[in-house]
């Protein structure tokens, strides 16, 4: 007891105590010879207890209680969001950072952050190498207009979104030091840290804890993690780049490593251009295994292949479950061509002579010879004599397809779909010639012209090729003639009436400037339309005409058979980046004329491993025309998807997808074991307490600094109803005992 708050004077209370004692002795004297000793002792005890309780009521004893003033200090909650917190060892399968997130989730039963905020003015921080204010807290602080030096309490996350892993190393000591700096102008009553105990950077945590002890600020700790060896399953390519030839099989090899204590059957998939292969590989505990895939690249240029492991129970890290390898695909020595004809005409015959005399051209054909008969050459034996190819796999064997538009009257929808998929997805080239009436709508969409009129030429026409597009004409070449190339009178000719946006003429008639060869990119490939079918006559006219026929078709077929040059070439595709480092999202952009474009509008949506998306606008680079540049700082380990959108004036937008992987490297990933001893030492040195993450529900109060401003209050013993109950029991007990033996 601290004191008494009685309204009576102590002399009066002393007289009352003497009178009460005398009365008790007189009562006991009266019981002598009348009541047995045991009964007399009982009655005396009850009377004395009642008198003592009455004396307590008269004295009004109280106890003085000093409590810290809630509005005069802050409590800091520090949550570790470094990369080591992604280890999945809590309850055997849950990531450490997910346990930390549960402390903040609004509406979670027993969420620690909510309980502490009801008792203390709480300020929340996340940390790795530096101290960070959560985004939602910073927004709430700015909206509330809090004064400098008085951090606002952290609002709980309302959407349950997972915390981002912060870049950098684990600097537990630096985080505690920065916390002191944050509260340099306002009292800090205590700190609670949720961490796995990692510290591999910055000031030693033990030295900072001595500063806290000197200032009388307890640091309590919650250990997030469990003891035991951390297991990991990861995949990697031994080589960053492999070489391949378009259309020929290439084998890539990946290595799967298993650091877990048990054997694992790992599922692994390889994804390329619209193709995914899957395999299962058994990897022994503590060992490694190789897995090989064979794929066929169908377009030239640089491509990326992506290998990914199926999520496995016990795998502590997920960011190294995916890897990329670059494939440098070159053009083959031979361009493989397929001719689809409605009848056996002279154009095919002379193209066949050209292919036979040119080592770089190989010409196969499917030509309708009779009502139900087809002439087939150059196709696999099992596919010969079955009409026009219907499966895309047959088209994929070739680099370009020459199509007589009259053949579409004999094709079914599956044949059309296979041909369009060949050019759109596989990246092949298709050359069309003939009338456009009656062709399927899907084919009309792929053509570079919108409409034409198919008529015999009324007079001889001459045309010149475009030396800046498709035909690379050098001075002195057979195609570089002032008179141009001739289309004889009476030859069937498609008079082009309207061209598609994005299409470019590769040859135009002299005088009228009407296009007779027009081409464009379509999907991943190329399409072209030739308005005439009499080029075979050049070969018979003269030796110069023979050379002109070879040069014209050689360049045209070579252009079609070569994979289209990408109009949007991202620099980040397949890149292996580091978490926290800057990564360039630069792209090289070509316009409709396949020249660097300086007037495009370029942006991209970057999707993080957790599904969050951010939009980045790329600016034109002063270093090179057609280059657009932007930066991103990956803050999470894992695979990022980048969706580019390029808007050209007067042309439809051009999409392009890319992906890269960000990894945490260095000391932060070398040893991710749970370090409980570090956290226990922190609590012991500073006078705080230690709990494990399994004890979160039991945390109600925190040790606080004894130097905090406090408010005093009195706790009266008489305020307890138990005192009055005891008094009533004593009086009622004495009354009952007296009546039982017949006393008044």
From 3.40.50.880, 3.40.109.10, 3.90.1170.50, 3.40.800.10, which CATH number describes the 335-561 domain? 3.40.50.880
Question: Sign (positive/negative) of CA torsion 384, 388, 390, 393?
Answer: positive
Question: Sign (positive/negative) of CA torsion 133, 135, 137, 140?
Answer: positive
Backbone angles phi, psi at 620, to 5 degrees: -60, 140
Whether the Cβ atoms of residue 646 and residue 178 lie closer than 8 Å to each other: no
Whether the Cβ atoms of residue 232 and residue 288 lie closer than 8 Å to each other: no
Give the separation between CA 80 and CA 169, rounded to whole angstroms: 11
348: left (phi over 0), alpha (psi -120 to 50) or beta: alpha
Give the separation between CA 484 and CA 495, rounded to whole angstroms: 18
Q: What is the pLDDT of residue 587?
A: 93
Q: Is the pLDDT of residue 596 over 60?
A: yes
**Equal CATH topology for 70-229+672-708 and 335-561:** yes
Binning pLDDT at 50, 70 and 90, where does residue 530 land? very high
| Beta bridge partners of residue 532, listed in sequence order | 493
Q: In the structure encoding, which two tokens stand for residue 405, read together?
A: 């538009």
Q: Worst-scoring range by mean pLDDT, 34-48, 294-308, 401-415?
A: 34-48
Provide the CATH number for the domain formed by 234-331 in this structure. 2.60.40.10
Q: What is the pLDDT of residue 163?
A: 62
How many other β-carbons are positioned within 10 Å of the β-carbon of residue 290? Answer: 11
Give the separation between CA 35 and CA 41, rounded to whole angstroms: 10
Q: Greater confidence, 579 or 74? A: 74
Alpha carbon of residue 232 to chain centroid: 20
How many other β-carbons are positioned within 10 Å of the β-carbon of residue 82? Answer: 30
Average confidence (pLDDT) over 487-495 = 81
Among 608, 452, 603, which residue's Cα sits nearest to residue 530? Answer: 452
The pairing of strands 241-245 and 322-330 is parallel
pTM beyond cutoff 0.85: no
The pairing of strands 654-663 and 576-578 is parallel
Question: What separation in angstroms does the CA of 535 have from each of 76, 420, 468, 516?
Answer: 84, 26, 22, 12
Q: What is the pLDDT of residue 36?
A: 67
Whether the Cβ atoms of residue 314 and residue 231 lie closer than 8 Å to each other: yes
Tell me the H-state helices in 502-591. Answer: 536-541, 543-561
Whether the Cβ atoms of residue 192 and residue 702 lie closer than 8 Å to each other: yes
Among 153, 147, 197, which residue's Cα sits nearest to residue 176? Answer: 197
Give the single-character DSSP code of 459.
S
Among 472, 580, 487, which residue's Cα sits nearest to residue 530? Answer: 487
How many other β-carbons are positioned within 10 Å of the β-carbon of residue 333? Answer: 8
- Per-domain residue ranges for the chain? 3-67+712-740, 70-229+672-708, 234-331, 335-561, 564-671
Whether the Cβ atoms of residue 335 and residue 361 lie closer than 8 Å to each other: yes
Give the separation between CA 97 and CA 79, rounded to whole angstroms: 9
Give the separation between CA 557 and CA 506, rounded to whole angstroms: 13
| Per-residue pLDDT reduced to its tens digit, 148-175 | 344 443 333 334 445 667 777 788 888 9
Give the separation between CA 722 and CA 719, rounded to whole angstroms: 9
The pairing of strands 188-195 and 219-223 is parallel
Give the separation between CA 566 and CA 586, rounded to whole angstroms: 14
Query: The sheet that has 131-132: what strands, in order across it?
Result: 131-132, 122-127, 74-80, 188-195, 219-223, 690-692
Give the separation between CA 224 and CA 197, rounded to whole angstroms: 8
Question: Sign (positive/negative) of CA torsion 194, 195, 196, 197?
Answer: negative
Give the separation between CA 646 and CA 604, rounded to whole angstroms: 9
Give the single-character DSSP code of 71.
G
Whether the Cβ atoms of residue 251 and residue 714 lie closer than 8 Å to each other: no
Buried b (16+ CB within 10 A) or exposed e, 102-124: bbbbeeeeebbbbbbbeebbbbb
Length of the chain measured in residues = 744
Question: Does the domain formed by 564-671 have CATH 3.40.1010.20?
Answer: no
Q: What is the pLDDT of residue 391?
A: 82
Q: How many CA atoms lie within 13 A of 550 on its CB side?
A: 18
Q: Is the pLDDT of residue 106 over 70?
A: no
Q: What does the radius of gyration of the chain's CA atoms come to, in whole angstroms? A: 44
Whether the Cβ atoms of residue 636 and residue 603 lie closer than 8 Å to each other: no
Q: How many CA atoms lie within 13 A of 21 on its CB side?
A: 6
Q: In the structure encoding, which two tokens stand for residue 706, read together?
A: 């004894």
Cβ burial, residue 52 (10 Å; 0-12/13-18/19+): middle
Q: How many CA atoms lie within 13 A of 645 on its CB side?
A: 9
Fold that domain 70-229+672-708 belongs to in CATH: Rossmann fold (3.40.50)
3-state secondary structure of 588: strand
What H or E segment, with its residue span, contains residue 205? helix 205-215
Q: Greater confidence, 740 or 370? A: 370
Average confidence (pLDDT) over 77-96 = 80
Q: What is the pLDDT of residue 398?
A: 87
Q: What is the mean pLDDT of the chain?
A: 80
Whether the Cβ atoms of residue 568 and residue 587 lie closer than 8 Å to each other: yes
The pairing of strands 627-629 and 587-589 is antiparallel
| Per-residue pLDDT reduced to its tens digit, 534-567 | 888 888 888 888 888 989 998 898 888 876 557 7
Residue by residue, DSSP assigns 357-395 as: H-TTEEEEEEEEEETTEEEEESS-GGGTTSSS--SHHHH
Binning pLDDT at 50, 70 and 90, where does residue 120 land? confident
Binning pLDDT at 50, 70 and 90, where does residue 274 land? low
Q: Is the pLDDT of residue 93 over 90?
A: no
Q: Is the pLDDT of residue 509 over 80?
A: yes
Average confidence (pLDDT) over 311-315 = 74
Q: Worst-scoring range by mean pLDDT, 413-417, 512-516, 642-646?
A: 512-516
Q: Greater confidence, 344 or 576? A: 344
Among 422, 449, 426, which residue's Cα sits nearest to residue 436? Answer: 449
Q: Is the pLDDT of residue 139 over 70?
A: no
| Per-residue pLDDT reduced to its tens digit, 404-440 | 999 998 888 999 988 988 888 777 899 999 888 888 9
Binning pLDDT at 50, 70 and 90, where does residue 522 land? confident
Average confidence (pLDDT) over 72-100 = 82
Average confidence (pLDDT) over 652-681 = 76
């Amino acid at each position: 007891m601290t004191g008494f708050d009685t309204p009576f004077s102590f002399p009066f209370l002393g007289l009352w105590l003497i009178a009460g004692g005398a009365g008790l002795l007189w009562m006991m004297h009266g019981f002598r010879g009348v009541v047995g000793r045991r009964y007399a002792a009982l009655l005396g005890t009850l009377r004395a207890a009642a008198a003592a309780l009455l004396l307590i009521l008269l004295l009004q004893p109280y106890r003085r209680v000093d409590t810290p003033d809630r509005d005069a200090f802050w409590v800091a909650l520090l949550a570790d969001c470094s990369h080591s917190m992604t280890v999945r060892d809590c309850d055997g399968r849950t990531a450490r950072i997910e346990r930390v997130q549960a402390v903040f989730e609004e509406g979670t039963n027993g969420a620690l952050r909510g309980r502490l905020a009801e008792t203390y003015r709480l300020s929340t921080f996340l940390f790795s190498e530096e101290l960070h204010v959560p985004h939602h807290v910073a927004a709430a602080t700015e909206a509330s207009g809090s004064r400098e030096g008085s951090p606002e309490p952290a609002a709980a996350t309302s959407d349950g979104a997972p915390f981002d892993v912060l870049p950098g190393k684990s600097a537990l000591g630096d985080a505690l030091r920065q916390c002191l700096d944050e509260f340099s102008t306002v009292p800090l009553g205590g700190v609670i840290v949720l961490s796995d105990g990692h510290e591999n950077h910055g000031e030693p945590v033990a030295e900072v804890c001595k500063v806290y002890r000197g200032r009388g600020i307890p640091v309590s700790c919650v250990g997030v993690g469990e003891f035991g060896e951390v297991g990991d399953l990861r995949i990697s390519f031994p080589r960053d780049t492999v070489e391949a030839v378009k259309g020929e099989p290439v084998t890539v090899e990946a290595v799967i490593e298993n650091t877990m204590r048990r054997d694992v059957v790992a599922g692994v998939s390889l994804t390329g251009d619209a193709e995914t292969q899957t395999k299962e590989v058994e990897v022994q505990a503590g060992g490694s295994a190789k897995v090989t895939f064979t794929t066929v690249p169908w377009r030239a240029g640089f491509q990326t292949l992506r290998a990914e492991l199926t999520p496995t129970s016990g795998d502590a890290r997920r960011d190294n479950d995916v890897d990329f390898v670059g494939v440098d695909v070159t053009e083959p020595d031979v361009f493989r061509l397929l001719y689809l004809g409605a009848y056996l005409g002279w154009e095919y015959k002379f193209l066949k002579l050209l292919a036979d005399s040119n080592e770089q051209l190989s010409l196969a054909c499917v030509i309708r010879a009779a009502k139900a008969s087809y002439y087939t050459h150059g196709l696999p034996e099992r596919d010969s004599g079955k009409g026009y190819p219907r499966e895309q796999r047959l088209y994929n064997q070739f680099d370009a397809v020459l199509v007589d538009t009259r053949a579409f009257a004999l094709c079914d929808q599956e044949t059309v779909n296979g041909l369009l998929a060949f050019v759109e997805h596989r990246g092949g080239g298709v050359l069309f010639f003939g009338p456009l009436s009656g062709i399927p709508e899907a084919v009309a969409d792929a053509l570079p012209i919108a409409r034409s009129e198919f008529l015999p030429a009324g007079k001889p026409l001459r045309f010149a090729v475009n030396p800046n597009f498709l035909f690379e004409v050098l001075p002195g070449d057979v195609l570089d003639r002032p008179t141009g190339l001739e289309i004889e009178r009476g030859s069937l000719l498609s008079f082009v009436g309207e061209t598609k946006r994005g299409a470019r003429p590769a040859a135009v008639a002299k005088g009228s400037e009407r296009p007779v060869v027009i081409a464009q990119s379509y999907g991943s490939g190329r399409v072209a339309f030739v308005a005439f079918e009499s080029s075979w006559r050049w070969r018979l006219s003269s030796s110069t005409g023979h050379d002109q026929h070879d040069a014209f078709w050689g360049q045209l077929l070579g252009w079609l058979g070569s994979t289209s040059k990408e109009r949007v070439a991202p620099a980040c595709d397949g890149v292996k980046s580091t978490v926290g480092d800057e990564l360039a999202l630069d792209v090289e952009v070509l316009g409709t004329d396949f020249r660097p474009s300086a007037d495009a509008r370029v942006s991209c949506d970057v999707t993080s491993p957790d599904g969050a998306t951010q939009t980045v606008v790329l600016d034109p680079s002063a270093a090179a025309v057609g280059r657009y540049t932007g930066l991103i700082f990956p803050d999470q380990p894992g695979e990022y998807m980048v969706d580019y959108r390029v808007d050209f004036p007067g042309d439809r937008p051009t999409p392009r997808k890319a992906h890269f992987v960000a990894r945490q490297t260095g000391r932060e990933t070398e040893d991710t074991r749970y370090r409980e001893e570090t956290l226990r030492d922190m609590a012991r040195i500073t006078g705080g307490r230690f709990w494990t993450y399994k004890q979160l529900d039991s945390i109600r109060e925190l040790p606080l600094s004894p130097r905090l401003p406090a408010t005093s209050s009195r706790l009266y013993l008489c305020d307890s109803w138990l005192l009055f109950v005891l008094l009533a029991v004593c009086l009622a007990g004495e009354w009952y005992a007296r009546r039982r033996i017949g006393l008044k």
